[in-house]
Chain A
């Protein structure tokens, strides 16, 4: 099983819809979780950290399920500007390695 797995997509979603995607991780010692956003040919940028209790930032909600070892990202009322690749990131504190998923491509359609 890969360390961090994401559905590569692409997800083609009409503007205004709600979209959700998951990311699974294999190492139960993982302790920090993040979602990054990457636009085409640009550097990744932090979208949000993922906290154990779940957290929300505007239209974005992140959840962590330690028992099942996955994190999720929900985008409500999607905008054209949400089109990007979303990267799931896991940090193993044990050795300070940071592991990125391969990303999920999202296309918001007008």
Chain B
């Protein structure tokens, strides 16, 4: 089954404790992206990647890191999480750089930073 998986689905952590949210897709998509969704602010792009070893900042990259060492994986790293990073996070992937093709979203990771 074609899908994007994210882990964990739910995470409660404390300020400053490094964490990684994994994202994996099995569709051989070139383009992958991370979003956060907050009430009243909608979905905002954090980082995206056009292909292996190519990553770019989205609209809200501060406090996040990503890597794209393999085509299928695109982990999101919070080196020192803060309460303002409490949010619902989605990973997505698509073909052709996401320019004109459907983005497939993972089920979301609900992160709470206390």
Contact = CB atoms under 8 A, between A and B. Distances in A.
Contacts, number: 56
A101 B42 contact: yes
Nearest to A3: B59
Given A43-B90, A43-B106, A103-B42, A97 B100 contact: no
A46 interface: yes
B4 to A, nearest CB: 8
B33 interface: yes
Interface stretch (A14-22, A53-61, A67-75, A87-95): A87-95
Nearest to B38: A102
A32 interface: yes
Nearest to A48: B102
Nearest to B48: A96
Contacts of A103: 42
A87 B59 contact: no
B98 A96 contact: yes
10 contacts: A34-B102, A43-B90, A43-B106, A43-B107, A44-B90, A44-B103, A46-B102, A87-B42, A97-B45, A102-B42
Interface of B: 31, 33, 35, 40-45, 48, 50, 56, 58-59, 90, 97-100, 102-103, 105-108
